[in-house]
Amino acid sequence: MALGGGHGLAASLQALRRVTDHLTAVVGVADDGGSSGRLRAEFGILPPGDLRMALAALCGDDSWGRTWARVIQHRFGGDGDLAGHSVGNLLITALWEQTGDPVTGLDWVASLLGANGRVLPCSTHPLTIVAEVLGHDPDRPEAVTEVRGQVEVATTPGDVLHIALDPPAPTACPEALTAIAEADAIVLGPGSWYTSVMPHLVIPELARAIAESPAQRIVVLNLNPQTGETTGFAAHTYLDVLYNYLPDLRIDTVIADRHNVEDVAALRRSCSDLGAEAFLMDVGHPDGARAGMHDPQRLAVAFDTVLA
């Protein structure tokens, strides 16, 4: 199973579905921008965008799967009320209204798409990310400011010191907890570290379930720092953040791209703090036009290697 959100989680899912037929994604529900933010505000629902991207990533490589993946990712243009909305977001919203249950609605969408796996929200209630940021106000570089919302945190010009969720200690999705308990392997990352990966570990029930799971725990590191929330991060910094939040969490394996690790010794020291072994492999996309993105096929080889 894999936890995260956005493009990072989609990359992991596209790789993992090449390795296993039993796959579950647990997706963050704190997005407050774009189409997801509008639907969340209008209907009081979970933001569907990251859930949609996970479902698209699980679509098969046959004609049916490729077609539906394109359809649900299609975004309306123009200047009308539908402008900016994606078909998948509207479809998920409609199924939620029809079923009255987020998990059942997502299961119906997955069945329609022929998705190779299940997509679950980390919580059945929409969440807000709250961060303490040093230097968010350029006129007061030494001040620590509270920044609210996924979009604001992801694009902050300052250094994120700490994140929390509103409401604090939210209830985890029960089906997600069951999936973690039954998993053979748990994958964290890649993705926006403070706004897609770490929020799962700020939900006490999820963090406890991951820590207590007998599954193999794998972390996939980002290729490059993200302008804003992780500006200036080295490969080992992601692991240091993880250790600072959950020093008792044990990780078995860390997958990093060999071309994006400047200080291998520092990475191995940070892996040691978490009890992990570092695997330096080629997982970046070979196409220069997609530099900075994980290649699903290469990442699948990496997963196959460490899981074996």
CATH number at residue 266: 3.40.50.10680
Query: Do both 77 and 188 map to the same domain?
Result: no
Q: How many domains does the chain have?
A: 3
Instruction: Please report where in the chains the tokens 């059945």 appear, as a residue.
Output: 124
Confidence of residue 287 (pLDDT cuts 50, 70, 90): confident
Burial class (CB in 10 A: 0-12, 13-18, 19+), 264: middle
pTM over 0.85: yes
Same domain, 159 and 148: yes
Query: Where would I find the H helices in 74-192?
Result: 87-99, 102-113, 150-154, 174-182
Q: What residue numbers bound the domain in which 135 lies? A: 128-166
**49 pLDDT higher than 80:** yes
Please name the amino acid found at residue 219. Answer: V
Q: Are residues 162 and 173 in the same domain?
A: no
Q: Are residues 229 and 259 in the same domain?
A: yes
Per-residue pLDDT tens over the stretch 158-201: 999 999 999 999 999 999 999 999 999 999 999 999 999 999 99
CA distance 293 to 306: 20
In a domain, 1, yes or no: no
Domain endpoint, select from 64, 86, 121: 121
Distance CA 76, CA 71 (A): 11
Residue 106 to residue 55: CA distance in whole angstroms: 9
Same domain, 216 and 300: yes
Task: Mark whether 132 and 222 lie in a shared domain.
Answer: no
